[in-house]
Amino acid sequence: MTSPSSWSDLPVEILLLIFDFAKDPIDILRCGAVCKSWLPTALQVYRRFFPLCFIQPEKDIDDNLVFFNILNKETRKIHLPEAMGKCICCSCNGWLLIVDDFSFPCGMHLLNIFSRTQILLPPSSSLPISFPDPHDKFRSIHFQCKLLLSGCPTVSDCMILLLLAHGSHDESTCAIAFCKPGDESWAWFLCKTPDWKISDAILNNGSIYASRKFPPAVISVKEDETIPVPEPILTHNIDGAFLVNSLNGHLLLVCYRREDPDGKLFDVFEFVISTEECNEVNDLDGCTLFMSPNGNHLAKTGNLETSFKGNCIYFFRHSEGDYLIYDMETRHSEIVPSRGLPGDGSSLILWVNPDV
């Protein structure tokens, strides 16, 4: 007598047919979470939509979030009532940083858009820099927040970090705050770099690194000191200095400028921290880099069923209200204006992907 089959034993061919009926990529991953054996197939199908971006609406969020696919210009609504009426500040690996309200002490939590799991965070009253009311356009435009996670925040030893910066180019305050799940308050330290004007931060092999624009460089950040690492040599000013972890574990500094007579809008440098080497690179080893002021994602897209091109940078430019597609090999750039995006093009834009 044969043992009865279970849902977990469904063959891959049947799962592919089932998942192909799903029009919502988020639902594909939620289906994959039903059985552990389903997840690899769910990820395979999901990558066809990879990646999606979330656009923060100008008005309060209802119980549906709107995601945008820049390839086919389609929008998709994701039912997520946990975000209703909240402010989404930034994201990391599918986790959204939510500010509940802007009255003291201003509650905060993480929300996973795939599993809808919530992680309570310490209140913002223990942070050195307060979150601006999103309706205060003047203060919001000079505020920067980036979420960093050392792992999955459902694990008790996960380190949750926030890069917080506020102010103009002439006068700014920057701090790095950190906590673990269950902590009642944030620990933090101010970045002791008055001439740095921190532009970005990242976790790499358990250490925190930050970047600056004037001149472009990277520092290793510790609570009591900032340690410079080898500086790349650039003879021109830049408009942005972003940090990305390469697939081989090294650190990439991506320098951006709005205009260049030769069409070279990006300079990319690879830091090998262990040997203190710094070299300029002219491609991304076939990968695709997705960037926005609030987060970056390097993806190996060559084996995916996607139209995203390797060695290209897709960059949402918040101040210009558009996104830029830049080919590192040909130096060809294409600008898609704000009319190609939902809303007015001035809203917060986040790449949202699971850590896959």
Would you list the domain boundaries of the chain?
A: 8-49
pLDDT grade, residue 181 (50/70/90)?
A: very high
Sign, Cα dihedral of 34, 97, 225, 251: positive
Q: Around Cβ 170, how many Cβ atoms within 10 Å?
A: 6
pLDDT at residue 266, as a whole number? 94
Highest mean pLDDT out of 54-63, 126-135, 265-274: 265-274
pLDDT at residue 1, as a whole number? 42
pLDDT at residue 161, as a whole number? 92
349, β-bridge pairs: 55
Q: For the stretch 68-97, what's the b/e string if a residue is b when 16 or more beta carbons lie within 10 angstroms of its beta carbon?
A: bebeeeeebebebebbeebbbbbbbbbbbb
d(CA 113, CA 188): 27
pLDDT at residue 12, as a whole number? 85
* DSSP single-letter state for residue 141: H
pLDDT grade, residue 281 (50/70/90)?
A: very high
Output the six-digit token pair for 233. Answer: 């040599």
* Helices marked H in the chain: 12-20, 25-32, 39-46, 137-141
Residue 141 one-letter amino acid? I
Between 165 and 311, the more confident residue is 311
10 Å CB burial of residue 268 (0-12, 13-18, 19+) is buried
pLDDT at residue 331, as a whole number? 92
With 90 as the cut, is the pLDDT of residue 116 above it?
Answer: no
d(CA 214, CA 212): 6
The residue behind tokens 């007579």 is 261
Q: How many helices (H) and strands (E) does the chain have?
A: 4, 25
pLDDT grade, residue 356 (50/70/90)?
A: very low
Average pLDDT, the chain: 78
Contact yes or no for 54/350 (Cβ under 8 A): yes
116 three-class SS: coil
* DSSP single-letter state for residue 47: G
Contact yes or no for 66/76 (Cβ under 8 A): yes
4-13, 109-118, 210-219, 294-303, range with the lowest pLDDT? 294-303
pLDDT at residue 277, as a whole number? 83
With 90 as the cut, is the pLDDT of residue 310 above it?
Answer: no
Tell me the C-alpha to C-alpha distance, in Å, between residue 91 and each of 66, 77, 161, 197, 294. 15, 18, 12, 22, 8
H/E element holding 326?
strand 322-327
Q: Annotate 25-42 with DSSP letters as a single string.
A: HHHHHHHHTTSGGGHHHH
194-249 pLDDT, tens digit each: 555 678 889 888 888 888 777 777 877 765 556 666 777 776 778 888 999 998 88
* DSSP single-letter state for residue 137: H
Contact yes or no for 53/354 (Cβ under 8 A): no
The residue behind tokens 């979030």 is 65
d(CA 134, CA 262): 38
The residue behind tokens 């209140």 is 123
Output the six-digit token pair for 134. Answer: 């999103």
20-24, 241-245, 304-308, range with the lowest pLDDT? 304-308
64-68, 209-213, 308-312, range with the lowest pLDDT? 64-68
Name which of 68, 165, 162 is nearest 108 in CA terms. Answer: 162
Between 267 and 277, the more confident residue is 267
Name which of 68, 181, 184 is nearest 125 in CA terms. Answer: 184
Output the six-digit token pair for 9. Answer: 């034993």
17-31, 83-97, 113-127, 319-333, range with the lowest pLDDT? 17-31
Does pTM surpass 0.85?
no
H/E element holding 289?
strand 288-292
Highest mean pLDDT out of 4-8, 15-19, 36-40, 145-149: 145-149
Between 13 and 121, the more confident residue is 121
pLDDT at residue 208, as a whole number? 86
Output the six-digit token pair for 191. Answer: 């970045």
